[in-house]
Amino acid sequence: MFRHDSPDEAAFRAEVRSWYEANLPASLRGRTNRPPPAELMPWYHALSRKGWIAPHWPQEHGGMGATLNQQIIMTEELARVGAPHLPAQGLHHIGPILIEFGTAAQKANHLPPIIDGSVIWAQGYSEPGAGSDLASLATRATLEGDHFVVNGQKIWTTWGHHSHWMFALVRTDREAQPRHAGISFLLIDLATPGIRIRPIRTIAGDDEFSEVFFDDVVVPAENLVGKLNDGWRIANALLGHERLGTSNPQFALMALERIRTIARATGIMADPAFRDRLAAASINVTALSALFSHAVELTNRARSPGPEASIIKIYGSELLQSLNDLLLEAAGSQASIEHPVTTELGIVDISTPFLQVRRATIYGGSSEIQRNIVARRVLNLPQ
């Protein structure tokens, strides 16, 4: 987007583009929703066999150990081919966290199944009374000898009903002050007795989320990541990875291409005022790509994204919403059609992505919370 490939990078891009084109099924291209596991996981497994499922992971943990520029190239080519959203909680969240904070046994037990796609992970953070104010979470875990007993509820759990394991924040000290001082980070096998999972149907018509109930669920003590009552520190490191992952420019690039396609089909591309707005949107996507590459570079240097992740989360999620607003404008009278629109230039889904991105400024920490973080930790503004 904002740089030129070296000869070696150009050769790598050609290899990546050729392989994606040859191996990504047509039925998965351009999907605005995340396909169900039966459709999606064969693509995941193909990337794993190729060695490309985790470009950002070190090679010693099963990753590709790709350079920053190689990771950017792969992101751009995934967008070009219209690749679907992969389940990200293992690859981008708990995987990097275990690499940084996990024990040798935890890494050995959990990293290989993430790489080969045999285990799907869910995140247990939000609760009915603890979303943006995560420190007020009430799900509790009581240590009894060599195990914890967990009781409570999690909500908005992405792919919870398709997942095998969950990493969760739980309250292990009810009296601790401040509140976040009594929270721990647990790995929970979702096949454990006492767990109930109920899918949630969203405004976009998918069942991307679920709510999870824990009733006297026994979790081995060795599933504690880090120290007891030190989960908030780990959670903040993970949220940095999450905010970075949700701002991946792949999704903005795909949205930009949808706008261009429908604008040519409806004829609004001939309107100079619309072309100005499209040009501005293109510049903003380029800026997001630059921000993303900088954040990836920090991560590659073994620095967990801090306030930088909040800045890119605000910019990336709000840009995604504005792009889909522009998509509606470009679609004109076809904007309200529920199903994808067939044009001479290709099929374009309009209403579904517009509805889906309404939640982009909420998950991973709402824009309001992110602005508070930036105000305190970057601008040093008073409380």
Residue from 127, 211, 242, 308 carrying the catalytic annotation: 242
**C-alpha span between 181 and 162 (Å, rounded):** 31
The secondary structure of residue 341, as a DSSP letter, is E
Sign of CA dihedral 319, 321, 324, 326: negative
Other beta carbons less than 10 A from residue 342's beta carbon: 10
Residue type, 119: V
CA distances from 314 to 318, 328, 362 (A): 6, 22, 10
Sign of CA dihedral 100, 77, 52, 353: positive
Residue type, 361: T
Strand 121-124, strand 165-171: pairing: parallel
DSSP calls for 20-88:
HHHHS-GGGTT-SSPPPHHHHHHHHHHHHHHT-S-TTS-GGGTS----HHHHHHHHHHHHHHTPPPPPH
Active-site residue flag, 100: no
Cα of 357 vs its chain's centroid, Å: 13
Count the alpha carbons within 13 Å of 142 in the hemisphere toward its beta carbon: 8
Return all residues near 208 (Cβ < 8 A) that are at least 6 apart.
33, 34, 158, 159, 200, 202
Residues in the chain: 383
> Do residues 186 and 155 lie in contact, with contact meaning Cβ atoms separated by under 8 Å?
no
Backbone angles phi, psi at 146, to 5 degrees: -100, 15
Give which of 237, 381, 262 is closest to 329, Cα–Cα: 262
**Structure tokens belonging to residue 322:** 């504005």
Other beta carbons less than 10 A from residue 267's beta carbon: 11
**Structure tokens belonging to residue 23:** 């191996």
Where in the sequence numbering do the catalytic residues fall?
A: 242
